[in-house]
């Protein structure tokens, strides 16, 4: 008869041990401090994880987008791409690769800025004012759980509880 493993495994992650929530925090910094405290107490932190829960899609509006802003943003990204392409092509010169790379990067920067600005203006004009703002978006958790493997979760809970009493 084959021996069965005594380690409980997760139903969601079959090749990893089951975990228990040992603490929940509203921000990542507090969760990180809890794990750091466990580390300071010589706890096996390789058996701990910080898990973000209840993800929210957040789009932070940075400002109004007008033709000038659209051209400037397009010129910036176009200049970067143009300079990079010019630099790479300049390196293929066998006689003076550094000088050629710098010259072509400069030309690429100017040409890329012009093309990027025109492209930025075109895209903004085609949107016809339907999205005349620029923003940055991402996913952000509402809560952060510190979880530990079942075998060590009780010890982690005790250490965190004793750490809270001292403060």
For 91-136, write each residue's pLDDT tens digit. 888 888 888 899 999 999 999 999 999 999 999 999 887 878 888 9
Name the more confident of 81 and 12.
81
Mean pLDDT of 18-31: 92
Query: Is 164 within 8 Å of 158 (Cβ atoms)?
Result: no
CA 36 – CA 30 distance, rounded (Å): 10
Q: What is the mean pLDDT of residues 132-143?
A: 90
The pLDDT of residue 14 is above 80:
no
Band the pLDDT of 2: cuts 50, 70, 90.
Answer: very low
Task: Give the model's pLDDT for residue 48.
Answer: 93
CA distance 84 to 94: 19
CATH topology of domain 19-55+141-166: Alpha-Beta Plaits (3.30.70)
For 28-65, write each residue's pLDDT tens digit.
999 999 999 999 999 988 999 999 999 999 999 988 88
> What pLDDT was estimated at residue 135?
87
Buried b / exposed e over 96-123, threshold 16 CB at 10 Å, is eeeebbeebbeebbebbbebbbebbbee
Q: CA 109 from chain center: how many Å?
A: 28
The SS3 assignment for 37 reads: helix
């Amino acid at each position: 008869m084959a021996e069965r493993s005594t380690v409980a495994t997760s139903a969601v992650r079959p090749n990893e041990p089951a975990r228990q929530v040992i603490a929940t925090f509203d921000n990542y910094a507090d969760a990180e401090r809890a794990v750091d405290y466990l580390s300071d107490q010589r706890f096996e932190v390789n058996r701990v994880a910080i898990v973000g829960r209840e993800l929210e899609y957040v789009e932070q509006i940075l400002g109004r987008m007008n033709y000038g802003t659209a051209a400037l943003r397009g010129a910036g990204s176009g200049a970067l791409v143009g300079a990079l392409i010019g630099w790479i092509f300049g390196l293929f010169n066998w006689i003076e690769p550094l000088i050629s790379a710098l010259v072509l990067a400069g030309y690429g920067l100017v040409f890329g800025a012009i093309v990027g600005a025109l492209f930025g203006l075109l895209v903004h004009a085609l949107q016809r004012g339907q999205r005349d703002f620029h923003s940055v978006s991402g996913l952000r958790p509402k809560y952060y759980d510190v979880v530990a493997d079942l075998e060590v979760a009780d010890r982690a809970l005790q250490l965190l509880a004793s750490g809270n009493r001292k403060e």
